[in-house]
Amino acid sequence: MSEEHVYPTGIGTSTSDSIKLLGQDLAEDVLGQVGFGELAYWLATKRRPTPGQLRMFEAVLVSLADHGYTPTAIAARMTYYSAPDSIQGAIAAGLLGGGSRFLGVTEDTGTFLAERIAALGDTSEFSADDWDAAARDVVASAKAAGERIPGLGHPVHKEGDPRTPVMFRIAREEGVFGPHLALFEAIGRVHPEMLGRALPLNGAGVAGAALADAGLPLGLLRGFALLARTAGLIGHLAEEQQNPVGPAIYTEVDRNAQYISPND
Amino acid sequence: MSEEHVYPTGIGTSTSDSIKLLGQDLAEDVLGQVGFGELAYWLATKRRPTPGQLRMFEAVLVSLADHGYTPTAIAARMTYYSAPDSIQGAIAAGLLGGGSRFLGVTEDTGTFLAERIAALGDTSEFSADDWDAAARDVVASAKAAGERIPGLGHPVHKEGDPRTPVMFRIAREEGVFGPHLALFEAIGRVHPEMLGRALPLNGAGVAGAALADAGLPLGLLRGFALLARTAGLIGHLAEEQQNPVGPAIYTEVDRNAQYISPND
Amino acid sequence: MSEEHVYPTGIGTSTSDSIKLLGQDLAEDVLGQVGFGELAYWLATKRRPTPGQLRMFEAVLVSLADHGYTPTAIAARMTYYSAPDSIQGAIAAGLLGGGSRFLGVTEDTGTFLAERIAALGDTSEFSADDWDAAARDVVASAKAAGERIPGLGHPVHKEGDPRTPVMFRIAREEGVFGPHLALFEAIGRVHPEMLGRALPLNGAGVAGAALADAGLPLGLLRGFALLARTAGLIGHLAEEQQNPVGPAIYTEVDRNAQYISPND
Amino acid sequence: MSEEHVYPTGIGTSTSDSIKLLGQDLAEDVLGQVGFGELAYWLATKRRPTPGQLRMFEAVLVSLADHGYTPTAIAARMTYYSAPDSIQGAIAAGLLGGGSRFLGVTEDTGTFLAERIAALGDTSEFSADDWDAAARDVVASAKAAGERIPGLGHPVHKEGDPRTPVMFRIAREEGVFGPHLALFEAIGRVHPEMLGRALPLNGAGVAGAALADAGLPLGLLRGFALLARTAGLIGHLAEEQQNPVGPAIYTEVDRNAQYISPND
């Protein structure tokens, strides 16, 4: 058998009388002892989280789980209305909206901060003043390049996103306040004087900073937003099964269609 | 504004300075205090689980999260290989395999048991003998109709699924061992004498029975299997990012293609 | 190499200097000589259509391509709005609504008619009276069983679907008017006297009958509706790129959300 | 009714007795008279193609419809195996692989050429020498920037993609050989001397150039590759229904899994 026939994996394997997951015996050591959020963290990183890391991680997932009638929730409800026999299709349709515009902020913020931090060298002894200085450089270079800083600003919570201070507090309580959260918080402090207006640090951005501090793979940060959103979509579909709004949304859009000549 | 313009929801809403989720203040009462599995349960049922219900529910999710190189994991890895710019597409592709053959057992078992239990009337005082009698009726009528009983049998764990006794034990420890688990367990006891061979109660079936006992909507049981599997798919994609097997699977299939004349 | 390593296919294969598709040389014999609709038919059946079969098949695809602001079109537009970087995600989200309620009529009608025809024996010499008699049996047994006849009725075209007579005419012109169309047409003639009201034969139902008469695989009829709809979804996304309505639909739904207590 | 309630569209609309598509009466003027490929072009551009444009467009779709056991075909077959009740899910899973690596070449090439041509000013009087000069600039600047030129090179057809000369010939026959094809062809002529090795112009790249010459929206070029691929996926699923390879692929991958310790 040639080399290429072998497909390595560290996730799971099973024999006739046992199932291994992440090197543990699933039945003896995992079921009833490892929570679902904990397992998700472990699967993504191959490291078991500490209690503090886990509390922060679950807070992030909870903060991202649902935002009401987002385009992704509407897409899932429309798809369920059209194909009620396929719950998996409705959830998949909802997740497919998890791209650059909505769920992308979490990943964009984590990646943006990680790139800036990589350029700072050793930040382990940074004071608040050091972070402010670093943040001024970040804001200045973004401003000079005409780039938006991800995670800054919110269409509804213009005066401040209520999730943000709570997430910072939990990170400090649990000892998982790392450089990404520190730089993000400092950006929040210094940008008003530099940009001439105060924008809130939004919850999706804090989530991205916290996931990056947790050492989760940057290329998968969007994946955690999608995991969180799956729970929210199940909530929407539960409502759609009991008290559907899909038909009313469809009717409303269809009867307000305005036909324009394709040659106009 | 006419009635149909209004889209009721009990999930979430927000104003400029607060976010409500399930009637709670997200920042003050939920973040850091409600775990992710707990939130998923709450979103689906609009009821907060008790600690025992939650431990059982998370055990179910954990038991369903990953089964190695399933067709759904292969589909997700193939899709990531082909379109690495779209994590959401790879996860959605994986979830789309969550249909009748693989992930469907959980839902099928829960639904099957619920239908049989509905016909039994009040089971609150049932003894083990009563459950065995009920199970004999269920097995007999399935046998007469030539129907398979969902949740019975496993292609690998032929002598017994190691998850099954642990799940039963956790349900008893937590006081959430309800009629669906009771009937399923009794089917496990009585079917060998009736069918002439002993089949294991499989883990996906126990999961379905446990979710039904938890009062989760029967029409959404597949949704929880999908939520669990999302965590597993993230694990597969994390491996694909670090140590991909997608290219080798593709090469292996492609070079073993055998062209047959379409007219044969 | 064991048997199971070989993956037979009759679709395509290639060597360094040639590409074969369906047993033809793609470059020499297919490109510029076989149309896209023709290829789709050939791929699905491994038979090249006659010109008459092809004209009918393309008429079916055209009839199914778009129906305006359907739930599937809305889902695709919402997904594009949320994730504009992933056209494939928006199209996939739209197709995922191709289930039992909307696009399913085509498949349901074809399957329904095929089952009834299989019970009729040889219909090659059937007169219009014979078909009427067969249709009366079909309608009577559906009525007795309390079943709806798929393809009958339309929410908008209550007096008659304008596509239906044209599709019947094309089938006759091209000599592809087979037993499925004959039985469906007869159902249209006899049902008013039997059900007490006249329902139109809808276009999706005629499409299903025509595809079944063409010998296309019954288990794939939904697939052709999906192929047709892909073209329609591209039209919607082209509009979304130039003159988006996604943001307005989202805003409209979100601002008419009505929060209800989850405990109500 | 406020402005935002109106959702303009030029695709379709219907009343109780007529259906309009693209400003035409669907039943009277479209069915049986407009082919499916023609309709797809019309939907995307709001312009009806000339016969020459249409022949070229269908040749492009045909060239992109299938490439055998690609990752997207494998994903669709895996998904069908796992969830045979949902054809739409299997097709959607296949399309979700239509991203940057596989189907993206068509879009990337069209966009790349369009950007370079925009910088050339009026090319209507360009001679072959002018195009060669322009191509030398394009290759030189790509080389200087260390960028790959999309559409150049093929893993199998190293000596030349057999589709490419045929596509160029059809474009010339039909009078639709525009600046994108001209620049792409010139790149094929000049790059060997500049890069020190001859790479084939691949078929996906020619397809992108031809679609761009046809005036199709650059932001939707991937959409046409997806439309084409939908036909190919239907072919794969038809095989999977008759002579499945999905189970064998799954078994082969699963039994060659190699468990590695997550801590290695």
Q: Is D97's CB within 8 Å of B74's CB? A: no
Q: What's the confidence (pLDDT) of residue D13?
A: 84
Nearest beta carbon to residue D83 from set A11, A88, A253: A88
pLDDT of residue B103: 78
Count CB atoms within 10 A of the CB of residue B18.
13
Q: Does A231 touch chain C (CB under 8 A)?
A: no
Distance from CA of B96 to the nearest CA of C (A): 9
Distance between A239 CA and the closest CA of chain C, angstroms:
10
Dist CA C92 CA D111 (whole Å):
23
Which residues are registered as beta bridge partners of B18? B15
Please state, as a whole number, how many other Cβ atoms lie within 10 Å of the Cβ of residue D100.
15
Across the interface, do D79 and B96 touch by the CB < 8 Å criterion?
yes
Residues 6+ apart with CB under 8 A from A124: none
Share of chain C above pLDDT 90, in %: 87
| 3-state secondary structure (DSSP) of residue A199 | coil
pLDDT at B264 over 60: no
Residue A263's pLDDT band (cuts 50, 70, 90): low
Nearest to D170 by CA among D24, D252, D59, D244: D59
Residue type, D182: A
User: CB contact, 8 Å: C35 with chain D?
Assistant: yes
Give Cα B167 to chain centroid, integer Å. Answer: 13
Read off φ and ψ for residue A66, nearest 5 degrees: -155, 140
pLDDT confidence of residue D252: 94
Q: B127 to chain C, minimum CA–CA distance in Å? A: 35
Confidence at D263, pLDDT banded by 50, 70, 90:
low
**pLDDT band at D102, cuts 50/70/90?**
confident
- CA-to-CA distance for A41 and D262, rounded, in angstroms? 13
Residue D264 — pLDDT band, cuts 50, 70, 90? low
D259 touching chain A per CB within 8 A: yes
The alpha carbon of residue B46 is apart from the nearest alpha carbon of chain C, in Å, by 6
pLDDT at D2: 47
Q: Which residues in chain D touch residue C165, judged by CB atoms under 8 angstroms apart?
A: 27
- Cβ atoms of B221 and B111 within 8 Å: the answer is yes
Distance from CA of A127 to the nearest CA of C (A): 39
Give the per-residue pLDDT at D89.
Answer: 97
pLDDT band at C2 (very low <50, low <70, confident <90, very high): very low
pLDDT at D144: 96
Size (chain A), residues: 264
Give the pLDDT confidence score for residue B1 in this predicted structure.
Answer: 42
B84 Cβ under 8 Å from any chain C Cβ:
no
Q: Does B65 lie at the interface with A, CB-CB under 8 angstroms? A: yes
pLDDT at site B200: 96
Q: What is the CA radius of gyration of chain B?
A: 22
Nearest to A138 by CA among A147, A127, A129: A147
The residue among C16, C33, C36 with the most chain D CBs within 10 A of its CB, best to mutate, is C36
Interface contact B92-D92, CB threshold 8 A: yes
Q: Which of A3, A206, A234, A254 to mutate to test the interface with B (most CBs of B within 10 A)?
A: A234
Q: pLDDT tens, B114-127?
A: 999 999 999 999 99
Preferred mutation among D253, D256, D264 to probe B, highest tally of B CBs within 10 A: D253
Cα distances (Å, whole numbers) of residue C203 to C150, C165, C174, D132: 11, 9, 18, 53
Whole-number Cα distances in Å, B44 to A61, B6, D177: 16, 22, 57
Torsion angles phi and psi, residue C54, rounded to 5 = -70, -45
Residues D158-178 pLDDT 10s: 889 999 999 999 999 999 999
| pLDDT score of D156 | 85
φ, ψ for residue A232 (rounded to 5)? -65, -40
- H-type alpha helices, A83-220: 87-95, 104-118, 128-144, 163-173, 179-195, 203-213
Across the interface, of D9, D88, D259, the residue whose CB is closest to A259 is D9
Average pLDDT score over residue span C227-249: 96
pLDDT of residue B14: 84
Which helix (H) or strand (E) segment holds residue C64: the answer is helix C51-64
Statement: residue B2 has pLDDT above 70? no
Quickly list H helices, D50-202.
51-64, 71-82, 87-95, 104-118, 128-144, 163-173, 179-195
The nearest alpha carbon in chain A to B218 belongs to A238
Q: What is the pLDDT of residue A1?
A: 42
Least confident of A26-30, A243-247, C15-19, D234-238: C15-19
B131 vs chain C: nearest CA distance in angstroms?
Answer: 34
**D88, D96, D260 ranked by CB distance to A10: nearest:** D260
CB contact under 8 A, C92 and A90: no
pLDDT at D79 over 50: yes
**CB contact (8 A) between residue C35 and residue D58:** yes
Q: What is the pLDDT of residue C122?
A: 95
Q: How many CB pairs under 8 A join A and C?
A: 133
Q: Is the CB of residue B11 less than 8 Å from the CB of residue B24?
A: no
CA separation for the pair D35, D58 (Å, rounded): 10
Average pLDDT over residues A190-213: 96
Residues in chain D within 8 Å Cβ distance of B75: 74-75, 78-79, 82, 93
| pLDDT(A4) > 80 | no
Cα–Cα distance for residue pair D114/D75, rounded to 1 Å = 32
Residue C245 with chain D: CB contacts under 8 Å = 7-9
Q: What's the CA gap between D221 and B236, in Å, rounded? A: 31
* Nearest CA-CA distance, residue C120 and chain A, Å: 31
- Return the biggest CA–CA distance within chain A: 69
- Cα C205–Cα C209–Cα C215 angle in degrees, nearest 5: 145
Question: CB D87 to CB C234 under 8 A?
Answer: no
C46-74 confidence digits (pLDDT tens): 999 999 999 999 999 999 999 899 999 99
Distance in Å, alpha carbon of A111 to nearest chain B alpha carbon: 14
Residues of A in contact with D262 (CB under 8 A): 10-11, 22-23, 46
DSSP state of D65: S
State whether D32 and C18 contact (CB < 8 Å). no
Q: pLDDT-based confidence at D17, cuts 50/70/90? A: confident
Quickly state the pLDDT bin for D179 (edges 50, 70, 90): very high
Bridge partners, residue D24, by sequence: D21
pLDDT digits (tens, 9 = 90+) for A170-192: 999 999 999 999 999 999 999 99
Residues of B in contact with D93 (CB under 8 A): 75, 79, 92-93, 96-97
Q: Of C187, C204, C105, C199, nearest to C142 (Cα)?
A: C187
**Chain C residues lying within 8 Å of B83, measured CB to CB:** 88
Q: Do C234 and D220 touch (CB under 8 A)?
A: yes
- pLDDT category at B99 given cuts 50, 70, 90 is confident
For residue A4, give the chain D residue with the closest CA: D256
Instruction: Give, as one character, the DSSP assignment of residue D219.
Output: G
Two structure tokens written together for D25: 């009466």
Q: Which residue has the higher pLDDT, B155 or C164?
A: C164
Across the interface, which of C82, C99, C254 has its CB nearest the CB of A85? C99
The answer to whether residue B33 scores a pLDDT higher than 60 is: yes
CB contact under 8 A, A238 and B58: no
Give the gap in angstroms from C-alpha C263 to the nearest C-alpha of chain D. 32
Instruction: Give one DSSP letter per residue of D115-156, joined into a string.
Output: HHHHTT---TT--HHHHHHHHHHHHHHHHHTTPPPTTB--SS
Interval A118-140: pLDDT, tens: 999 999 999 999 999 999 999 99
Give percent above pLDDT 70 in chain A: 97
* Separation between Cα atoms, residue D100 and residue C68, nearest integer Å: 30
* Interchain proximity D257–B68, CB inside 8 Å: yes
Do the Cβ atoms of C206 and C181 come closer than 8 Å?
Answer: yes
Give the closest-approach CA distance of A5 to chain D in angstroms: 6
Return residues 99-118 of A near C (CB < 8 Å): 99-104
User: Residue range B160-172: average pLDDT?
Assistant: 97
Note whether C87 contacts A: Cβ–Cβ < 8 A. no
Compute φ and ψ for A18, nearest 5 degrees.
-150, 155
pLDDT at D12: 86
Separation of alpha carbons C237 and C244, rounded Å: 9
To the nearest whole angstrom, how far is the Cα of D68 from the nearest Cα of chain A?
Answer: 20
Which of residues 147 through 206 in chain B touch D, CB cutoff 8 A?
A: none
Question: Residue B103: is it exposed, middle or buried by C-beta count within 10 angstroms (0-12/13-18/19+)?
Answer: buried
CA distances from C248 to A85, B12, C255 (A): 29, 20, 11
Cβ–Cβ below 8 Å for B103 and A88: yes
Mutating which of A13, A25, A38, A87 best tests the B interface, going by the most B Cβ atoms within 10 A? A87
Burial label for D247, CB within 10 Å (0-12, 13-18, 19+), is middle
Band (pLDDT 50/70/90 cuts) for residue B104 is: confident
CB contact under 8 A, B93 and D75: yes
Smallest CA–CA separation between B23 and chain C, in Å?
Answer: 6
Backbone φ, ψ for residue C19 (5° rounding):
-125, 125
pLDDT given at position C263: 60
Encoded tokens for B185: 């367990």
CA–CA distances in Å: residue B33 to residues A38, A59, B29, B37, B40 = 15, 8, 7, 12, 14
As a whole-number percent, the residues of chain B with pLDDT over 70 amount to 97
Cα–Cα distance between D134 and C215 in angstroms, integer? 52
- CB D62 to CB C30 under 8 A? yes
CA angle D23, D28, D31 (to 5 degrees): 90
Backbone angles phi, psi at A201, to 5 degrees: -75, 120
Best residue of C5, C86, C91, C96 to probe chain A, by most A CBs closer than 10 Å:
C96
The mean pLDDT value for B51-68 works out to 96
| Alpha-carbon dihedral angle through residues D118, D119, D125, D131, given to the nearest 10 degrees | -110
Identify the helix (H) or strand (E) that includes residue C187: helix C179-195
**Does the distance separating the beta carbons of D239 and C69 come in below 8 Å?**
no
Residue where the block lists tokens 């490892």: A34
Asked if B9 and C260 come within 8 Å (Cβ–Cβ), the reply is yes
Across the range C175-197, mean pLDDT stands at 97
Average model confidence (pLDDT) across chain D: 94
DSSP strand pairing (B257-259 vs C7-9): parallel
